[in-house]
Amino acid sequence: MRTDLKLKLTHTAAAAWSLLFLAACGGGGGADAPATAAGANEAPGTRAFALSAAPALPAGATPVPAVTYRCGNVTLGALRSGEIEVPAGQVCVLQGTRVEGNIKLGAGSVLDARDITIVGSLQADGAASVLVAGASSVTGSVQLVQGGAATLLGLRIAGNLQIEAHAGPVRAEALRTSGNVQVLGNLGGVTLVDNSTSGNLQCKDNLPAPQGSGNTAATLEDQCRSLAPAPTPAPGTPVNPPVAPVPPTTPTLPAPSLPAGVFTAGSNVVCRDLSLDATRYASVEVPAGARCELIGTQLTGNLELAPGASVKGVQAQINGSLNGDTPGPVQMDGGRIDGSVQLARAQATTLNGTRVGGSLQAVAGTGLLWLQGLTLTGDLQVLGNTGGAVLNNNRAGGNLQCKDNLPAPSGSGNVAANKEDQCRGL
């Protein structure tokens, strides 16, 4: 499975992705982007779902039959088009359009499609966001891989559906599929509600495991064998993003899930797909694409994450700092980091109940950012993230600053010397 995420957003695409994400969360109900309830044309299972208005883009040129149409930063209405290509980093809005051919999305592109007919397939590789809703149908298959957010509501698919390796939230509701449905290796949270397929429904390697209910298939496999009903959120529970992994809260040390690493105490360690126990080491480096567990591990130095590297720490004690540029999933439960935390372009980040002696900076993350119960001596900065952010009950001795995040962070109970920009109300 490929894990290199090709999310290269232009300003236009990023802004549109914000609108689509708010639509997926039932948000966008403010004065600037009024939400509208699902209309009569939408599937019954989507009526409780609110969609924001589509991005306001100029009308595109009239398509020429049987000629590929480049839909870049334009809107097409109830017209007949040949195959549609959405260029990398651009936005395409389709409303009532009939597409006689495939729709192909470039890296970092955005598609907002409502009440459309595709006489062909929908293919997206590295798209920033895909929304298909209303009375929409596809005579072929739908393949969405290595993307950001994906929301499919009430769609009819004659072929197969594949949703793989998404960094942002994925929601599929009231779909009717004749083929197989595969939901594989997604990291931003998956919700599956009231979907029906004549083939198999397979969910595998998603972190966290999918949530939902009311799904039927010839067989429900792996993580989808028993989809529990989504819990009813308590009053005041953040709804943005719609699916968030609940961080672990137990202080007990879990059993390792990776082979045990054996290294000399006090040494510098390269942790490649290994689990480290409660031994004291100097520093730990996790190579590109590798995984590492720190179960009660003590470090006198830093924890360094190479691109694509992922780490799970439980009650780890780090005298230095945690640093990562383009890491995979990062999860730290409890413990302490005496230095600072600097994570840039992370796929997904969960920090729960950790004490940070310096500052924490999470910048340009593409997946879900969940910060809960942290105690920091310095500043807490959440800047330019596009996968959704939730901040609950954190205490910062310095400032809490949230800026240029799409969508804006949600949460409550945070305390800081100053709460600035998007975090003023948290």
DSSP 1-36: ----------HHHHHHHHHHHHHHHT---SSSS-EE
The answer to the question of residue 162 being in a domain is yes
Same domain, 384 and 290: yes
What's the pLDDT score for residue 413? 87
What's the pLDDT score for residue 227? 66
Where are the strands (E) in 169-223, listed by range? 170-173, 176-177, 181-184, 190-193, 196-197, 200-204, 211-213, 219-222
Amino acid at 208: P
Same domain, 144 and 280: no
Question: What burial class does residue 250 get, using C-beta atoms within 10 Å of its C-beta: 0-12 exposed, 13-18 middle, 19+ buried?
Answer: exposed
Same domain, 276 and 209: no
Same domain, 179 and 290: no
The answer to the question of residue 237 being in a domain is no
What's the pLDDT score for residue 409? 86
Cis (ω within 30 of 0) for the bond into 241? yes
d(CA 20, CA 18): 5
Same domain, 191 and 298: no
The answer to the question of residue 345 being in a domain is yes
What's the pLDDT score for residue 215? 87
The answer to the question of residue 132 being in a domain is yes
| Residue 74 main-chain phi, psi, to 5 deg | -140, 170
One digit per residue, the tens of pLDDT, for the chain of length 426 reads 333 433 333 444 444 444 444 433 333 333 232 233 333 333 333 344 567 778 889 999 999 988 999 999 999 999 999 999 999 989 999 999 999 999 999 999 999 999 999 999 999 999 999 999 988 999 999 999 999 999 999 999 999 999 999 999 999 999 999 999 999 999 999 999 988 999 999 999 999 999 988 888 888 888 988 764 444 444 444 444 433 344 444 446 777 788 999 899 999 999 999 999 999 999 999 998 899 999 999 999 999 999 989 999 989 999 999 999 989 889 898 899 999 999 998 888 889 889 999 999 999 888 888 899 899 999 999 999 888 888 888 999 999 999 998 888 888 889 999 998 888 888
d(CA 265, CA 91): 53
The token pair at 49 is: 């779902």
The answer to the question of residue 2 being in a domain is no
The answer to the question of residue 228 being in a domain is no
| Residue 64 main-chain phi, psi, to 5 deg | -100, 125
pLDDT tens for each residue of 283-297: 999 998 899 999 999
The answer to the question of residue 75 being in a domain is yes
Same domain, 108 and 198: yes
Residue from 255, 296, 414 nearest 424 by CA: 414
Taken in order 104, 107, 109, 113, is the CA torsion positive or negative? positive
> Any bridge partners for residue 381, and if so which?
361, 401
Same domain, 217 and 330: no
The answer to the question of residue 3 being in a domain is no
Chain centroid, CA 117 distance in Å? 27
Q: Among 194, 222, 250, which residue terminates a domain?
A: 222
Chain centroid, CA 103 distance in Å? 23
Same domain, 202 and 320: no
Same domain, 173 and 285: no
Taken in order 99, 131, 137, 141, is the CA torsion positive or negative? positive
**Would you call 158 helix, strand, or coil by DSSP?**
coil
What's the pLDDT score for residue 53? 78
The helix or strand, by DSSP H or E, that contains position 80, with its residue range, turns out to be strand 80-81
Same domain, 157 and 76: yes
Chain centroid, CA 292 distance in Å? 22
d(CA 75, CA 162): 26
Q: Residue 163: how many CB atoms within 10 A of its CB? A: 26
Q: Which long-range contacts (CB under 8 A, 24 or more apart) does 55-59 make?
A: 55/15, 55/16, 55/19, 55/91, 55/93, 55/110, 55/112, 57/91, 57/93
DSSP label at 58?
Answer: P
Same domain, 53 and 173: yes
Same domain, 295 and 152: no
What's the number of CA atoms in the CB half-sphere (13 Å) around residue 275?
A: 12
Q: How many domains does the chain have?
A: 2
- Provide the residue range defining the domain that includes 344: 269-421
Beta strands across the sheet bearing 142-145: 69-70, 84-86, 103-105, 122-125, 142-145, 161-164, 181-184, 200-204, 219-222
What's the pLDDT score for residue 304? 94
Matching residue, tokens 């260029």? 87
